[in-house]
Every structure is written in C-alpha cells, then in structure tokens.
C-alpha cells in the first residue's frame, strides 16, 4: 500500500468501517439495496470517466462507440422487461427522471394530481419539491387510510372535475397497487397524461409481482433503479408515449433538460441489473412480498400497530408501523439503530410533522437479496419486540443481531451468487 495522507486514510477507513457496519446490521430501509459483483465491475470501469451527451448515435462527443452499443442493448432489455415501446436509461436518479418528465410534459401553471405527502407521496411531487419548483400546481387525491390507498370514487370525481394535465401515481410508502384500472375511464374522458412513479416497486414490477402500470393506462413510468430493483444508484424512464411528440418531449426533458452526461458506468451497471432481473427477478420479487407479509404478521402478532391489518398489511416490499404509543417514529428508529437495525421514521396519514412522525417504514427487499426467508422475518420481529416493547438492554439485542446477521452476508438472485455483499475492494498494493 502506498503512503496515504491522513485524509486519504481517514476516508478509506471510514468507508471500510461503513461496510463492516452494514455487514453486522439488519438493513430494512425500503429504498435501499446491495448490488451484484458484476454490476460493481461496471462501476469500476473506464465508463466512469467519460461523457456521452445526447441520444445514442447522435452524441456531441467522440469516443462513445462501445458506450452506444451497451446503451442500445440496455434499452432493448428494458423495453422487453417492462413491456413498453420506449426506455431512456439516462436520468441519473429517480428524482432527475421526475424532473425530466416535469420539464418535458408540463408548463408552469399546469395542474398535477398527486397523492399527499402525509399519505406517502415522494418529496419530489410535493409543493416544495420539484413539482412546486417547476411552478406546477398540485391537487391531492382523497386517501383511504384504512386501505392505505387512493380513494377510488373520490379520485374519479376529482379527475373529472379538475381535469389535471397530469395524474401522478406512486409513493414512497407504497403498500398496495395504485388503482389505475379503476380510474382508466376518467383518464380517457379527461385526456389527462398518466404518470407513474415506480421507484419503490420497480423490482416487483420487473418480477411480475405488483402491477403492470404501462399496461394499465400509464403513459410514462419513472423510477430510481436501486430500491426493490437491485441496480446501481441511477434512474430510468419507461413509456408507451401517446405519440411521437410525447416521446420527443421526454427525451428533451432528460437532455438537454436536466442532465448533461448520464454517468455511463451506472448506465452499464443498470444494463447488467436489467439482465439479472430478467433471469432472477420473478423468484426474487416473489420472496420479497412473502417476506414483507410475514414480517408484518409477526410484528402484528407481537402487539405492533402494523397498518392495513384488515387488508393483508401489504402487497409490496414495504410495511408501515404506527409506533406513537412506543415513543414515536424518531425515538424508535434511533433505538433500533443502536441495536444495528436500520430503519427510517415515516409520516403516516394524519401526521403533520416529518421530524416527529408517528411511524416506521420497513422494507424487505435488501434482506431478501441477502437470502432471508419467512422464518427470518419472525427472528427480526422478535428483535423489535425485545427492544421496543420489552425494553431489553440494547447491548444484548445488538449482540444477537450481529450473531444473526453472520449467516446473511452473501448475495442471492444474481450472477455470482454467494459473493460477499459488503466486500471492500482493495486496488492499491
């Protein structure tokens, strides 16, 4: 190892410490995941240092011969996997994909219908997020808090009355499929453009375990590619555009709208992830949903306020737990973190504060990727009970969490199964 400066050593050691920390922790944040060794190889390639502006075959820089071949193959893979006519692999994150759609398909002063933030919407669709900053007005669908889903009759009425330019679906607390089929008549009648933010559930859609938004009336679907979809930090736009004008507007929204180059190493890793999902996605997605239902049931049986109990808790990777009576979302999330269980506090319907919300949001996609099944969901629920209900000593729960996690440090459902998920690559000798 060459002589590294104090700063270089500091950064390197902290990153290694982070890897070890996750190796010893139970990751339950619904928007995160680990990636396969083949994707990591792409992230380390020379694609990292290059630029490719514009569309494949029409770049503004030279040197993109192989980049174009990879991206063309990736778009084919994406169109096939999601059954659509258009795929754009250039957005560098889910929020950037959302911004591109906003730039492409809306003008300041237009109106968008979206779920409300407290009902689980993503920040980029809020008044003070990208939608508001584009100058687009928002109206919120009525929400059925028992079913944890959009109220169908109320939404039909709202779309018919207000005729929003765009009707946006998809959330960050996404428990059940959005009622696209049920709303389809109102969509057609009003000519609204239907936009589905599938960031959270992209892997479930790819694995045919949630809904197929682009066959159920959505014109365009945006997503990040690193939540249930176990790819690199990146974004994607998938669409069945209404016409050529819409397709052009989407492309322009991405470039020159909101990106310059599109992080080519991530794009290559995304291509591998698309192929991996074609091969392993169905088994993976199916186990994710089994696990989230099992975790919800097991927590509920132990006395936790898991939402939507009368409706099977969830059909996705996510479950929501009301922990107001146990000290609230922040204090429970902090206690769990001390015991090496990583979750996030989350607003639940009716909450006004995002800093002190009443809920926890849990996701099973990453622990599933590490090979956990229904039996392990009951082990996890018992850690929650010991810590938050029985108030057992944090140190002793933490020690048991670390012991438990030793069996789940290797990747499943990808090329290179059993490769260590948190491996730190040493390049300098």
Minimum distance, C-beta of residue 301 to ligand DSN, in the bound complex (Å): 27
| Contact set for ligand DSN, span 70-129 (CB under 6 A) | 94, 122
Residue whose CB is less far from ligand DSN, 29 or 56: 29
Neighbours of 88 (CB within 10 A): 25
Q: Which residue has the tokens 């936009």?
A: 195
CA-CA distance, 416 to 334, in Å (whole number)?
Answer: 34
Start-end of H helices in 83-127: 94-105
CA-CA distance, 192 to 160, in Å (whole number)?
Answer: 10
Q: Which of 364, 369, 377, 365 is nearest to 411 (CA)?
A: 369
Neighbours of 252 (CB within 10 A): 13
Tell me the C-alpha to C-alpha distance, in Å, between residue 422 and each of 17, 253, 337.
Answer: 11, 36, 18
Residue whose CB is less far from ligand DSN, 122 or 263: 122
Residue whose CB is less far from ligand DSN, 190 or 330: 330
CA-CA distance, 329 to 423, in Å (whole number)?
Answer: 31
Neighbours of 180 (CB within 10 A): 21
Residue whose CB is less far from ligand DSN, 130 or 372: 130
Minimum distance, C-beta of residue 93 to ligand DSN, in the bound complex (Å): 8
Terminal Cα-to-Cα distance of the chain (whole angstroms):
4
Start-end of H helices in 216-263: 244-252
Minimum distance, C-beta of residue 122 to ligand DSN, in the bound complex (Å): 6
Residue whose CB is less far from ligand DSN, 199 or 267: 199
Residue whose CB is less far from ligand DSN, 33 or 193: 33
Residue whose CB is less far from ligand DSN, 114 or 298: 114
Question: Which residue number has the CB closest to ligand DSN?
Answer: 31
CA-CA distance, 88 to 198, in Å (whole number)?
Answer: 14
| Phi–psi pair at 96, nearest 5 degrees | -65, -40
Q: Which residue has the tokens 């459902």?
A: 413
Half-sphere exposure of 95 (CA within 13 A, CB side): 12
Residue whose CB is less far from ligand DSN, 31 or 298: 31
Minimum distance, C-beta of residue 97 to ligand DSN, in the bound complex (Å): 11
Report, in angstroms and rounded to the nearest whole number, the Rg of the chain calculated over CA atoms: 22
Tell me the C-alpha to C-alpha distance, in Å, between residue 252 and each of 112, 130, 235, 261, 295.
Answer: 20, 17, 16, 13, 43
Structure tokens at 292: 């989230």
Residue whose CB is less far from ligand DSN, 27 or 371: 27
CA 324 vs. chain centroid, Å, equals 25
Residue whose CB is less far from ligand DSN, 122 or 234: 122
CA-CA distance, 256 to 264, in Å (whole number)?
Answer: 16
By CB under 6 A, name the one of 31, 106, 149, 259 that touches ligand DSN.
Answer: 31
| Contact set for ligand DSN, span 121-160 (CB under 6 A) | 122
Q: Is 172 in the site for ligand DSN (CB under 6 A)?
A: yes
Q: How many residues bind ligand DSN (CB under 6 A)?
A: 4
Minimum distance, C-beta of residue 131 to ligand DSN, in the bound complex (Å): 14
Residue whose CB is less far from ligand DSN, 37 or 94: 94
237 close to 55: Cβ distance less than 8 angstroms: no
| Contact set for ligand DSN, span 251-270 (CB under 6 A) | none
Applying CB under 6 A, the residues found at the interface with ligand DSN are: 31, 94, 122, 172
């Amino acid at each position: 190892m060459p002589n590294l400066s104090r700063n270089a050593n500091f950064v390197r050691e902290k990153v290694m410490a982070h890897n070890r920390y996750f190796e010893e922790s139970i990751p339950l944040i619904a928007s995160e995941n680990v990636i396969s060794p083949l994707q990591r190889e792409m992230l380390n390639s020379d694609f990292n240092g290059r630029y490719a502006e514009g569309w494949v075959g029409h770049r503004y820089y030279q040197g993109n011969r192989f980049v174009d071949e990879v991206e063309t193959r990736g778009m084919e893979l994406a169109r096939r996997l999601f059954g659509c006519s258009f795929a754009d692999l250039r957005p560098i994150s889910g929020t950037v994909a959302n911004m591109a759609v906003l730039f492409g398909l809306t003008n300041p002063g237009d109106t968008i219908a979206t779920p409300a933030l407290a009902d689980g919407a993503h920040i980029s669709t809020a008044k003070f997020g990208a939608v508001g900053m584009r100058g687009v007005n928002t109206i919120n669908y009525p929400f059925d808090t028992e079913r944890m889903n959009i109220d169908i009759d109320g939404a039909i009425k709202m779309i018919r009355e207000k005729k929003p330019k765009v009707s946006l679906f998809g959330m960050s607390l996404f428990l059940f499929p959005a009622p696209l089929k049920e709303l389809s008549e109102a969509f057609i009648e009003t000519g609204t453009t239907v936009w589905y933010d599938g960031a959270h559930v992209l892997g479930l859609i790819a694995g045919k375990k949630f809904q197929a938004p682009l066959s159920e009336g959505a014109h365009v679907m945006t997503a990040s590619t690193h939540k249930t979809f176990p790819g690199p930090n990146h974004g994607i736009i998938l669409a069945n555009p209404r016409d050529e004008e819409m397709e052009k507007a989407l492309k322009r929204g991405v470039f020159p709208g909101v990106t310059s180059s599109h992080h080519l190493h991530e794009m290559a890793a995304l291509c591998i992830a698309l192929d991996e999902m074609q091969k392993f996605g169905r088994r993976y997605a199916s186990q994710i949903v089994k696990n989230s239902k099992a975790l919800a049931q097991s927590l509920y049986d132990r006395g936790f306020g898991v939402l939507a109990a009368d409706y099977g808790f969830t059909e996705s990777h996510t479950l929501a737990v009301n922990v107001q009576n146990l000290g609230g979302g922040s204090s429970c999330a902090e206690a769990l973190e001390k015991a090496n269980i990583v979750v996030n506090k989350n607003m639940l319907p009716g909450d006004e504060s995002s800093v002190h919300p009443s809920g926890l949001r849990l996701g099973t996609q990453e622990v599933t990727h590490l090979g956990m099944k229904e039996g392990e969901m009951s082990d996890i629920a018992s850690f929650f009970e010991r810590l938050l209900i029985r108030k057992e000593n944090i140190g002793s729960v933490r020690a048991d969490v670390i012991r438990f996690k030793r069996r789940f440090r290797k990747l499943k459902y990808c090329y290179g199964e059993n490769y260590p998920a948190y491996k730190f690559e040493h390049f300098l000798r």
